[in-house]
Amino acid sequence: LENTGTAITSGDNYGQIEWEGNDYNTSANGIRASIQVKGHGAGTQGEVAMYFRTSYVGADSNVDRMIIDHIGNVGIGTTSPNQVGYGGSSKVLSLKANSSGGECVLELIGLGNADNDQVGVLNFMSQAETTPLASIKGLRYTSDTSGKLTFETSAVERMRIDNTPICFVSSPFKLKFLTLTFIKSSNFGVASTMFSFNLSSDVAP
């Protein structure tokens, strides 16, 4: 697929692959999907983006669902990834809800079935290294509806939130539980509030 034009600008079509079908209760080409390459950014010097489209419930027209832009940013639900405007050295994945009031959800679905099985991990990596700088891990607890979160730096667990929820901090730090008691009293018709603090004993990680 080639566009032989010499003045290609942003939005100009380089080529398209399309899948079409006839739904029994819609007009011709009622089911469609396509991948299209168009000029993007300045649209010159080979700046292009790849658009992925699908139709919805037998609609005639395709709708943009995902884009890979000219510098590799990916947008799902938007054709303008990198809304914040990070520089060209960054790679950005942008997800946008379908309509007003909608939300974006990133689901990490693991198949763990035992206590402490990892079901999802978010790693922060440095170039060419295999050990994460930092990690956030979702762990299974005793059932498919109870879990824990762990926070690691340099591949060592530093903090854990279990299903209680109680937060444990790794050695050499220890966690103390702080209890606040509020007592309201009245002296000479003037209301006052006193605070009572109770600091519990150390809790080991």
Instruction: Quickly tell me which residue has 């994945």 as its tokens.
Output: 93
Q: Assign 114 a pLDDT band (cuts: 50, 70, 90).
A: very high
φ and ψ of 13, to 5 deg: -85, 130
Residues in the chain: 205
Mind listing the pLDDT tens digit for each residue in 141-178?
A: 999 999 999 999 999 999 998 888 677 776 655 555 55
Mind listing the pLDDT tens digit for each residue in 39-58?
A: 876 656 678 899 999 887 65
Predicted TM-score (pTM) of the model is 0.72
Determine which helix (DSSP H) or strand (DSSP E) holds 91, and give its type and residue range: none
SS3 155: coil
Nearest to 141 by CA among 160, 165, 120, 116: 116
Determine which helix (DSSP H) or strand (DSSP E) holds 161, and give its type and residue range: strand 156-161
